[in-house]
Amino acid sequence: MFLPFLCLIVGLMLAGSATLQQKKTVTSKSVAAIWSQYPYPQVELTRNKGSEFRSPVGSDVDTLMSKSPDVTSSQVNGIATIGQYRPQYKIAWAHPTNYGERFTKDLNGIPVNNKPIIVLHETDASASSVINFFQEPHFDENVQASYHTMIQLDGTVVYLVPPEKRAFGAANSEFDSSDGSETVKTNPQIASSVNNFAYHVSLETPPDGHMNTQPTHSSYTEAQYHSLAWLIAQSNVPEERITTHKAVDRSGQKIDPRSFDFYKFLNLLHYYRRF
């Protein structure tokens, strides 16, 4: 049942196998410099598997942003609460074969110190199918894939890969920045990619977008937009380094996230970053 998803989204999402990774020592200081700006799953501080509080995400952006900011960022039972919004969450860690280490040097031994980026994706399948696939061990490098985080249709944030690890979210890829084209090659048999400095977040695709290559679909839910903005607001990655799978892809085959309203997302991100 999952084979179509595997062929559609995983085929070119490779970043290298666990067995072919460079055997380099990554110091804790170096790792911290790479991933410290990414959203950290603070939910690990609590045993609670969900939240008792849900923000009214049915409100439109203007209504939400017009509310007086009478609360500040805090934690409730270890879960970050921003602007009175605290989405439900769950932890579904991917199998270790489906992600790797972030490296301080590329394949040629040249130091790499790219600033963090955030790459937005969509799943092309149901959230449950994606979780099941990522939790299966894949020793074949041709089927290894993962995101750091996924946001379900109901806004639930699913933590899949720790931010200090390198998720295999984009294969042949580059990020165009003010510093030029950024990419890192870590595997001799696979094209260079942004994975070494990327945090991958995927939105669950609505049912009408499953397993097809149509350029649009019915788009994402209000809950998803709010949870995405909430998640990224926990980082200090600047807007100009938040991008999409389509934008970084160099295979010419990736079009996700389809029907994504970047303006709406940025408005919400501005709101949540006020706290």
Q: What is the CATH number of the domain that holds 174?
A: 3.40.80.10
99: left (phi > 0), else alpha (psi -120 to 50), else beta? beta
DSSP output for 82-139: BTTB---EEE-PPPGGGEEEPPSB-TTS-B--PPPEEEEEE-SS-HHHHHHHHHS---
- Residue closest to 57 by CA, chosen among 204, 206, 223: 223
Supply the range of the domain harboring residue 179: 3-272
Which amino acid, one-letter code, is at 32?
A
Provide the pLDDT for residue 36. Answer: 77
With pLDDT > 90 as the criterion, what percentage of the chain qualifies? 65
Q: The whole model's pTM is what?
A: 0.79
In this predicted model, which residue has the larger pLDDT, 256 or 67?
A: 256
d(CA 199, CA 148): 6
Mean pLDDT of 171-188: 95
In this structure, how many other beta carbons lie within 10 angstroms of the beta carbon of residue 84?
16
**Ramachandran angles phi, psi of 148, nearest 5°:** -75, -40
Residue 230 has pLDDT above 90, yes or no: yes
Domain count, the chain: 1
- Residue closest to 217 by CA, chosen among 204, 202, 207: 207
Burial of 264 (0-12, 13-18, 19+ CB in 10 A): middle
21-71: pLDDT as tens digits: 333 334 445 555 557 789 887 544 333 333 322 332 333 333 333 332 332
Lowest mean pLDDT among 81-90, 193-202, 265-274: 81-90
Provide the pLDDT for residue 53. Answer: 26
Provide the pLDDT for residue 16. Answer: 38
Determine the 3-state secondary structure of 144 from DSSP: coil
Provide the pLDDT for residue 42. Answer: 59
With pLDDT > 70 as the criterion, what percentage of the chain qualifies? 72
Mean pLDDT of 7-24: 37
User: What tokens were used for 172?
Assistant: 């042949």
Provide the pLDDT for residue 232. Answer: 96
Provide the pLDDT for residue 45. Answer: 37
* pLDDT band, residue 80 (cuts 50/70/90): low
Mean pLDDT of 215-225: 96
Residue 131 has pLDDT above 80, yes or no: yes
Residue 133 has pLDDT above 80, yes or no: yes
